[in-house]
Amino acid sequence: MALAASRTYIDVHILQTVPPANLNRDDQGNPKEAYFGGVRRSRVSSQAWKRATRTHFTERLPEQDLATRTRRISGALAERIADSTGLEPEAATRLAGALLGPLKISEGKKAGDTAYLFFYGRRQLDAVAALVQDRAAELVALDETELALEIKQLAVQEKFSTGHPMDVALFGRMVADIPALNVDAATQVAHALSTHAVELEFDYFTAVDDEQKKGEETGAGMIGTIGFNSATLYRYASVGLHQLQDNLTDDEAAVTAVEEFMTSFARSMPTGYGNSFAHRTLPSLVAVAVRSDQPVNLVSAFEEPVTAAPGIAAASAHRLAHEHARAVTAWGDAPAFTAVCHTFDPADGTAKLLEDTFGESVAFPQLLSRVRTHLTDTLKQAAR
């Protein structure tokens, strides 16, 4: 069991330039936007980048160690019961419904669906299925009343309340009907905003019918438009190590979760219209600050929009470094640790300013290693 930790926040600041793209659509199909500092900015919702981060987890980590979010938990449980017991699908479905019944999760419009998406660990569902594995045939032979009484004695809610996977521990879970199943998120993710003003543009496209014969009706087989913009985005997230400890009850797992989140948050990208724009890029800058006071979003650096000269990414990095320094000076809350990885020319004044503010630039794997070492040392000191 992990010891209760003092507050430790890991702030992640990212600058990333994205070419013409439509990463995250609004209800009109156009890139999401927001007014900030009196001008229109490109915006990518926090939900979109959290989804991209979770998807990136699945590309790198064993699926069984992660969570899934679905309305179809009953069907997933029934499949596990059928696989482990050999029951016919109908009997397994009945047993799955009985197991979930005591939770009193609101039912959806479709049979077997819940009224809302339920975020659970795959191993947690395996543990629930294991509760009936040795008695499946006996239980399905009971009538509804007897079955409900037997199921009521099983620790179904306990299985969903313990052994949380990393992504549930990071992003939390809310179950309106069952507060006992709620998990407080350890991660806050801000909406990404462009550091500068943007204008919405449109791509007019046509598609040709490959089977159209010469001399037949001319013209395109299909025409349409796609809204897009391009932007240098400021992205920010903060992870509470102390909350991760509470959710995972293991120090090493908590530090690993921070490292995995930083990796996937930095390397992921929402996929909206990805085939049309091939917009995937890597950040120009990733800066990390470990704090014991509170999370500090530095978006105020861009309240006055950055202009094009001498380059938006470099100018944005200047602004970010100055804002961080001003915040430390004004509030007196210097981070316990900082680190930075960036792609700016070492001979450029931008690189020198970032080094003075966040420390020597290192390769991203080395940045992760330094953060891990600092967090591990912090936890060891707290345990003394």
Q: What is the pLDDT of residues 45-100, one digit of tens each?
A: 999 999 999 999 999 998 888 889 888 998 999 999 999 998 899 999 999 988 98
CB-CB contact of 100 with 74 (8 Å): yes
CA 371, 376, 381, 383 dihedral sign is positive
Most confident of 203-207, 275-279, 307-311: 275-279
Smallest Cα–Cα separation from 336: which of 282, 284, 292, 288?
292
pLDDT band at residue 225 using 50, 70 and 90 as cut-offs: confident
Given a cut of 60, is residue 2 above it in pLDDT?
no
pLDDT band at residue 359 using 50, 70 and 90 as cut-offs: very high
Given a cut of 60, is residue 200 above it in pLDDT?
yes
User: What pLDDT shows up at residue 215?
Assistant: 62
DSSP state of 173: B
pLDDT band at residue 1 using 50, 70 and 90 as cut-offs: very low
> Could you read off the pLDDT of 137-195 as tens digits, one per residue?
899 899 999 999 999 999 988 998 888 999 999 999 988 778 888 999 999 999 999 99
Structure tokens at 240: 């509470």
Smallest Cα–Cα separation from 228: which of 18, 14, 16?
18
283-305 mean pLDDT: 97
116-141 mean pLDDT: 89
pTM score over 0.95: no
High-pLDDT (> 70) share of the chain, %: 95
User: What pLDDT shows up at residue 221?
Assistant: 65
Reduced to 3 states (helix: H, G, I; strand: E, B; else coil), residue 224 is strand
User: What pLDDT shows up at residue 329?
Assistant: 94
Smallest Cα–Cα separation from 25: which of 271, 306, 257?
271
Tracing tokens 């794997």 back to the chain, one arrives at 365
User: What pLDDT shows up at residue 103?
Assistant: 83
Question: CB under 8 Å, gap of 24 or more: what pairs does 354-359 form?
Answer: 354/285, 354/287, 354/317, 354/321, 356/321, 357/321, 357/324, 357/325, 358/287, 358/288, 358/289, 358/321, 358/324
User: What pLDDT shows up at residue 203?
Assistant: 82
Given a cut of 70, is residue 39 above it in pLDDT?
yes
Most confident of 214-218, 225-229, 314-318, 345-349: 314-318
Smallest Cα–Cα separation from 196: which of 25, 351, 43, 332?
43
Given a cut of 80, is residue 207 above it in pLDDT?
no
- Among the residues of the chain, which ranges form H helices? 46-60, 73-85, 89-100, 122-130, 136-140, 144-152, 156-161, 166-171, 241-248, 251-267, 274-277, 312-331, 349-358, 364-383
Strand-pair partners of 25 = 31
Mean pLDDT of the chain: 90
Structure tokens at 229: 């913009």
252-260 mean pLDDT: 96
